[in-house]
Structures are given as C-alpha cells and as structure tokens.
Structure 1
Amino acid sequence: MKKRNFETKIITGLLTAGMILSLTACGSSSNGSYGISDLMDADYAVASKEAAAPEASAYEDGFGMTEGYDSAGNAQDTSTTVPEETAATADRKLIKTVNMDVETREYDKLLSAVENKVTELGGYIESLDAYNGSTYYSYRSTRNANLTIRIPKDRLEEFQNTVSELGNVTSRSENVQDVTLTYVDLQSHRDALQTEQERLLQLLEQAESIEDIITIEQRLSDVRYQLESMESQLRSYDNQVDYSTVYLYIDEVEVYTPVEEETTWERISAGFMDSLKSIGEGIKEAAIWFVIHIPYLVIWAIVIVIIVLILKKIKKRTKRIRAEEKKKFAEEEARMQKTLQNTAENTAENTVATQNSNE
C-alpha cells in the first residue's frame, strides 16, 4: 500500500514538473517574439520624439521668420517683433531668385563679359537660349538671349552690379524664400531615421527566428529608402541656398530705353529719328533681298520675255490672218457686185432687143 502511494506521488510530481517546464518554454518563446516587435516600436517612438525636439528648438530660435523685398530691393522684416541676432537666425536657409532685363548696343561683348564674370565668381550657367536675329525677313535684325545663372550667394550683389555697369537695366526684381523650417524638419527626420537604422542593425544581429529577420529587413529597406529621399531633398536645398538663381534677359538694341520721362519735343525728335532709321533699314533690307534673289529674278525675266515674244507672235499672226480674210471677203463682195451688174446689163439689153423686135 505504501509502495503504491509512493509510486502515485512520483507520477504526480513528474506530471507537475512537465507542465511547469512546458509553460515556461511557451512563455519564453512568446516573450522573445514580443521583444523584437516591442523594441522596433520603441525605437520608432524614440526617433519621433528626437525629431520633434530640434524642430521645436529651431522655431523658438527664430527660424520661423520670413523676409520680403520692396520695389527698391530693400529687405523688410514681416514679423511683428525683431529678435536679437543669434547663430540660429544667421544660419537661416534663404533661397534667392533675381530677374534682370538688360539692353545693350554691344551684344557679343556683354554676353562674353557675363560668361567670364560668372566663371570668375565661381558660378555656372545652367541654361542659355540665344536668338541670333533675322537675316532679311524683318526690318530689325536684333539678337537676344535668355540665361539661367547660378551665382554663389555671397557674390550675388557683385554680379548684379557688374551687369548694371555693362548694360542698361530696364527691369529688376528679387525674391527670397525662407525654407529654414522645412530644412530643419528634414534634418531632424533624417537624424531620427539614421538612429532607427543603427538600432535595427543591432536588432538584426540579435534576431534568431526567420520571421524576426524578415520583419527587421523590411523595415530597414523602408528606412533606407526614406533616408535616400531626404538626403536628396537636403542636397537640393543646399544647392539652391548656396547658389542664388539669376534669370537674365539680354536684348540687343540700337537706342537705350530712357530711364527718365521724355518731354514732348524729345519724343517727337526720337520718333522722327526712329522713322528715318526704319526707312533706312527698309531700303537696306530691300537691297539685300534684291541681291539675294537675283538668280530667281533672272529666271523669271527670261520666262516673261519668252511669254511676251510668243504672245506678240500669236498676235501678229492673228492680225495677218484677219487681214487676209478681210481682203478675201472684200474681193468676193466686189466679184458678186460685178456679177450682179453684168446680169442687170444683160437683162436690160435683152429687154431692149425684145421691144425692138416687136416693133
């Protein structure tokens, strides 16, 4: 009896130990799987918190200010209060864009000088669209060019002054876009993603199951894609901030557009001179057109002469035929009249003869 009770106790103890070991194993597996997912969520939460902190700090430092320009090109602060100059405000990301229209009497010289100045200042010409004028189809054979130029932001004013000295600036405008908040936000998200990428790599080294490895690698792929996109945007902003954009239009003219308002007499005089120049240009263009088209004119002259000769020959022949027909008709009419006359005479003679015979 005692032996039987002892065996029962042993079996019960073994079953209890087996159940405990089984529950422990399940709990361990569950905790291991939850740990990877939980750590990834925790990393994302920490990264988001780190991304929000620099943005708030930047806004407090005055990055949210915007700046505009009046018609004279003077900077105007659009904020209600002006904070003290700090390192943060000095590092604001400003994209400057300038539009300039310039007249010149020496087109080639100005274009060459602009290209040399751009190279000297460390900039570059992004695009150049030149029109070399008309040969003879227009009265005014002028040239013009549209240039998109990138100039280092610290040398922008020097470039504008050089262009103003070389030609007659008829129009100029400047626009400033403050992208500081956007730039700082991108930087913060990039830093947060880099931190998340490092922690994901650590988790990848610690992962044991295939499921965890696949999950981590998928997240790593997403993070790397976002990092590349943000790096590209930051590089684009850096280029736009470091190099101001100048849209330059160069127009070749004979007379500069007056800056000051002209008097009535000056307008009449200028208009009269323009008319004379237009007439001169017209005569010159007509002479050029005539010289260019001489071969065509010679061919057409030969064709016209041949046509005229043929027409004259046809007319002469027609006239001769008509004269011959008229002459023939006159002869026929005379012959008929003579025949009628002879017939009348014969009839009269016959009548007289008949009367004589009757008597």
Structure 2
Amino acid sequence: MNDLINKMIQAQLMQRLLILLAISFGMTLTGCALNHGYSDMNEGLRGLAMESSPASMSSAKISNNADSQDRKLIKRSWLNIGVKDLAKAEADAKAIVEQKTGYIENTNDEQGKSFNLSIRIPQDQYATALVELREVGAVISENENVQDVTTEFIDNKARLDNLYKLRNRIQLLLDRADVIEDLLKIERELNRTQSEIDRLEGRMKYLKGQVDYASIEFSAKKQKTYGPLGYFFMGIWWGVEKLFVWDQ
C-alpha cells in the first residue's frame, strides 16, 4: 500500500514538473518572438528611411528621364528702352502684358524721368511679348538669362514619389505598434518624412511657377529733346571727336 501511494505522489510531482517546464519553454519562445518583432520594426524603419534617401536613387536613370522629357526652363530678361513720352510708353507696355495674359508684379516710377515694370508672362507668350515691348521705344540695353531646371524637377518628383510610399508604410507600422517606445520612434520618423515632403512640395511649386511664367524687367527712361542749338553743338562735338578718333 505504501509503495502504491509513493508511486502516485511521484507521478503527480513529475506531472507538475513537466507543466512547469512547458510554461517556461513557452515564455522563452514568446520573449524571442517579441524581441525579433521589435528588431524587425527597427530594421524596417531603417530600411524605409534608406529607400527615400538620395543615395538610393540612380543618377543615370534621372539623367535619362531628363533627356526624354520636355526641358524645364526658367527664363528672365532685362529690357531697357528710351522713350519720349513716359505715360504713353507705360500704357503701351501694360496693354501688351494684358494682351498676352500676363501680369505685373511690381511697378516703380520716378516721376518725369523713368519707370520700371516687373512683368510675368506665360512661357508660350514670352518671345512675342519681348518683340512687342522692344517696339515701345528705342532699345538701350537688353540681357537674358535661361536656367535649365529639368534635372532638379525630375529628381524632386522621384523623391516625392518615394516619400509618399514611405509615409504610407510608416503609417501602417504606426497602426500596428502597441509599445510606447515604438510608437514614439515611429511618430518621429513620420514627422521627419512629412517635413521633407512639405519642403519638396514647396520647392516644386516654386519651380513650376517660374517655368510657367517667364520674368521681364522692363525699364523705360525719358529721352532728352534737343533744341536747334543743342543739335548744332552736338554736330560740332561729333566733328571734333572724328578729328581724334576714327574707329572705336
């Protein structure tokens, strides 16, 4: 009888020991899975961040895209003319701008002497507008600057596409995270990504505005009107000058 009781007690102890071992093994596996999950989350954030970095983009691909697309050109001109009637010249210039569906950003008048118009003209009307503005008076000086921003335009667009995808994937990680430390880390990455998106969107908006509308700085100066004596002495001066200088 005693042997039977001892065997039953030993069986119960063995059963409890097996249960404890099973629980311990299960907790170990759970801890490993959690650690592996946090590690995957951290690696995921690092991988997502690398995807949106400039180094991850192919410069050759960007260059090929730039060659295959229409060029994005920012055009600026400075036109200085002489006129006899400032009021008429200003009215004529403004009428040309209005006819070309452009607009005037800024005006500056020096009463009785000169005026300046900062003009924005649609790109497709730019060349025609310049021709007509030259006819308002006698051209004194003219300069033009053309800046090609095609590569920057394509580069920024590609970065934005990557950042939009990155933002969506970070949002998915944020929805699945349930540990405060992970939530804070993911939110910081989401804010950083959104700030970069806002910066590039602002730059793209500026570039598009500059490309769509060319700039013309139009200045007119009142020409002097000489009387008979003025022309007489100017002729004398011209003759004296030719005695010393034949060719310049």
Do Structure 1 and Structure 2 share a fold, with TM-score over 0.5? yes
The aligned counterpart of 1:10 is 15
- Which stretch of the first structure deviates more once superposed, 29-38 or 213-222? 29-38
- Tell me if the contact between 1:51 and 1:192 (Cα under 8 Å) persists in the aligned partners: no
Q: Secondary structure at the match of 1:185?
A: helix
How big is each residue's C-alpha offset from its partner over 1:6-25, in whole Å with a ceiling of 9 and x where there is no partner? 34422431232122022022
TM-score (norm 1): 0.58
| Identity value in percent | 24
Q: Which AA in structure 1 matches 2:206?
A: S
The aligned counterpart of 2:245 is none
Cα 1:154–1:255 shift into 2, 3 Å: farther
Gaps of 5+ in 1: 64-86, 134-142, 257-266, 275-359
1:120 is the counterpart of 2:124: no
The aligned counterpart of 2:244 is none
- Tell me if the contact between 1:51 and 1:185 (Cα under 8 Å) persists in the aligned partners: no
Cα 1:49–1:98 shift into 2, 3 Å: closer
The aligned counterpart of 2:158 is 188
Cα 1:233–1:108 shift into 2, 3 Å: same
The aligned counterpart of 1:151 is 121
Cα displacement (A) at 1:105: 0.8
- Relative contact order, higher structure (CA 8 A, sep 6+): 2
- Tell me if the contact between 1:51 and 1:191 (Cα under 8 Å) persists in the aligned partners: no
TM-score (norm 2): 0.83
The structure 2 residue matched to 1:210, chosen from 175, 180, 193, is 180
Larger radius of gyration: 1
What CA distance in whole angstroms lies between the structure 2 residues aligned with 1:268 and 1:44?
75
Cα 1:51–1:118 shift into 2, 3 Å: farther
How big is each residue's C-alpha offset from its partner over 1:25-59, in whole Å with a ceiling of 9 and x where there is no partner? 21122123223222222322333489614x53231
Q: Secondary structure at the match of 1:115?
A: helix
What CA distance in whole angstroms lies between the structure 1 residues aligned with 2:139 and 2:47?
60
Q: Secondary structure at the match of 1:127?
A: strand
Gaps of 5+ in 2: 1-5, 238-248
Root-mean-square deviation (CA, aligned residues, Å) is 2.5
- Bigger fraction of residues in strand: 2
The aligned counterpart of 1:337 is none
- Which stretch of the first structure deviates more once superposed, 217-226 or 38-47? 38-47
Cα displacement (A) at 1:255: 4.8
Q: Secondary structure at the match of 2:165?
A: helix
The aligned counterpart of 2:51 is 46
Q: Secondary structure at the match of 1:166?
A: coil
What CA distance in whole angstroms lies between the structure 1 residues aligned with 2:114 and 2:72?
34
Matches of residues 1-359 of structure 1 in structure 2 within 5 Å?
Answer: 1-48=6-53, 52-53=57-58, 55-61=59-65, 63=67, 87-88=68-69, 91-133=70-112, 143-255=113-225, 269=232, 271=234
Cα 1:241–1:51 shift into 2, 3 Å: farther
What CA distance in whole angstroms lies between the structure 2 residues aligned with 1:119 and 1:147?
13
Cα 1:272–1:177 shift into 2, 3 Å: same
How big is each residue's C-alpha offset from its partner over 1:142-175, in whole Å with a ceiling of 9 and x where there is no partner? x101221111111111111111222101111111
Instruction: Name the count of aligned residue pairs.
Output: 229
